[in-house]
Amino acid sequence: MSVAEKLLRELPAFDVTTILIFVAVFFACLLLVAGVTGGRHSKLSLPPGPPGWPVLGSLLFFIRRKDPHPSDLKPWVKKYGDILYVSMGPQGVVFLNSHDSIQEAFVRKSDQFSSRPIWLFLFKSIVGPKGAGVIFSNGQKWRDLRRFTLTSLRDFGMGKKTLQESIQHESRLLVQDFEKFGGEAFDPGTVVQTAVNNIISIVVFGERHEYSDQGFNEMLDLLNTLLRLSAFGIEDFFPWTRHFIPNSKMKKRLAILKELYDRIRDHVNEHRLTFDPNNLRDFIDLYIKVTNENNDPETFSEKNIFRVVVDLYFAGTETTASTLKFGLLQLLHHPDIQKKCQEEIDRVIGPERAPKGEDRLQMPFTEATLMEIMRYSPVVPNGVPHATETDAELHGYLIPKGTVVFPNIYHVLRDPANFDRPDEFRPERWLDDSGQVIKTDKLINFSVGPRTCLGKTLAELEAFIFFTTMLQQFSFQPAEGQDIPSPDRGQLVPNGVPHATETDAELHGYLIPKGTVVFPNIYYVLRDPANFDRPDEFRPERWLDDSGRVIKTDKLINFSVGPRTCLGKTLAELEAFIFFTTMLQQFSFQPAEGQDIPSPDRGQLGITYTPFPFKIRAVRR
């Protein structure tokens, strides 16, 4: 039994039905309504949105979905347009459903939309009322921590040859682990997750772990369990209900957070005992050095080191691991694309040499395939939420200070206005007529603006190296007798990490009141026909121009946009490339015999969007 399971079983349960909780909340809300003056912003132009219950708003829609999916907002987007206003309990939330509205808010008006909201009880319990870490801090503390973290990542390898060599080495070890199965069906999820986590472990703690390391696997299990429990519930808006709800997710989260904090604190204490300012080994050592030299307990505190470590693990591992897992699913559904990637790998890299970041320029189809994987299955489909720092105007609407703002990345990447046939998987959409990658600003998986993911470059490199290494060595096939999961379904946190308005704001002619939660609907943006032709098709060629070069675009917003772009974007891209190419260099991947290939259009609910578990066969090339 895992540590996470033990923690969950030790929690007390209450024999009270959820229905009674809703009734209690409803009558409590009626009492609150009696004392609240109506319509603080009734005379201002808020964005349109669905009607909701008094006080609860549309909260029940989000917490009662049995099989949540990023496309659940599509009917609302179709009815209300690019900017959608929703009440979640006492919190106003805005979803940005078009590439233009996301760019305007997070880039052109980033000074107003770059705050992070601490609106849910879960967030407050983790980071405190003022925020902590790199993702959920604000103001000067955020700028100082982001600058320090970026500098530290550069010092310890991000963008340097040493870290690339670590990714290449880990890719080879991943290949060796695949070989142990001898072509039989296995679940690649755990092995891929562990391999990617080892990269950030090297940066943060200065060490990698064997895949069988019990302590390391327990920590990863705690992190994964926390991600799965992260979808918000009634307790986040009405914290007192957690004392009555049977098997309250909030109590489970807090128990896991305490265990995680204790484990990270033990690592930090070990580093303090062996700390040498003249021999800095890793990120933890550098943080200790800065803490000793700076009299700034508000920024460089023990709470912040815990939060920054968790932020780095989330930003630097979950995105890459889920991208690779979705990538393997797509290869099972599209063996012709797997073959084309392997032909390019054989031509550029060969069967023996380890893939490296520089190969990306010579491998447009593989690069386009990775871009299409990120477009088709954005790992954080609604991005990391922002909040308005002042009243703001956006597309004629007022967005009040403190409004939480989500970029609907999924919709942008599935919008026919951005991509032709967006529901088809077509890597060639990213290639021009000469076969080169088309650079575009519409691939916004890592978000945009000042909050753009900190680890974007590393994430892209990792994805490339792991992906190419796997395909270099193996061909992947479905497991016998099992359906291949759809890449359209996965685990997700449909609301990502929210933004919030700090003042009243105007957006596209609508009022966004102060304190409104703003979600970027990334999933919808990435599936919007206005952005992508046939967006529901998996087509890597959509990213290539006529010369076969990769098309660079700002519409692939998986890592969000603006000042709050994902911390791990660089790391995720680097890892994805190296792992992806290494796998394809060594293997061909096939379905398990006798089993259907699950659809990549469905997945599981958690902090990120990840496919359901599935089995494949890795056949040595």
Best mean pLDDT range from 39-48, 177-186, 590-599: 177-186
pLDDT attached to residue 23: 45
pLDDT band at 604 (very low <50, low <70, confident <90, very high): low
Q: What is the pLDDT of residues 162-200, one digit of tens each?
A: 788 999 999 999 999 999 988 888 888 888 989 999 998
Sequence-separated (6 or more) residues with CB below 8 Å from residue 553: 438, 439, 440, 441, 442, 443
pLDDT band at 41 (very low <50, low <70, confident <90, very high): very low
pLDDT attached to residue 16: 36
Structural domain count of the chain: 1
> What does the pLDDT average to over 20-26?
48
Q: Distances from the Cα of 247 to the Cαs of 235, 254, 382, in angstroms? A: 12, 13, 27
Segment among 28-37, 229-238, 314-323 with least mean pLDDT: 28-37
Best mean pLDDT range from 33-47, 87-101, 475-489, 571-585: 87-101
Residue 487 has pLDDT above 80, yes or no: no
More confident residue, 143 or 251: 143
Q: Whose structure tokens read 């978000």?
A: 447
Residue 372 has pLDDT above 80, yes or no: yes
On the 0-12 / 13-18 / 19+ scale of CB atoms within 10 A, 42 is exposed
Q: What is the pLDDT of residues 429-443, one digit of tens each?
A: 999 999 999 988 888
Q: What is the pLDDT of residues 98-136, one digit of tens each?
A: 999 999 999 999 999 988 888 777 677 777 777 788 888
CATH of the domain at 354: 1.10.630.10
Segment among 59-63, 74-78, 564-568 with least mean pLDDT: 564-568
Establish whether 341 is an annotated binding residue: no
Using alpha carbons, select from 265, 157, 135, 263 the residue that is nearest to residue 203.
157
> What does the pLDDT average to over 241-258?
78
Residue 34 has pLDDT above 50, yes or no: no
Using alpha carbons, select from 308, 335, 261 the residue that is nearest to residue 617.
335
Do the Cβ atoms of 615 and 502 come closer than 8 Å? no
Structural domain that includes position 278: 3-620
pLDDT attached to residue 382: 84
Q: What is the pLDDT of residues 266-305, one digit of tens each?
A: 888 999 999 999 998 889 999 999 888 877 777 887 778 8
Sequence-separated (6 or more) residues with CB below 8 Å from residue 283: 152, 153, 156, 203, 204, 205, 309, 312
Q: What is the pLDDT of residues 149-160, one digit of tens each?
A: 888 877 765 555
pLDDT band at 43 (very low <50, low <70, confident <90, very high): very low
**For the chain, what is the mean pLDDT?**
81
Residue 507 has pLDDT above 60, yes or no: yes
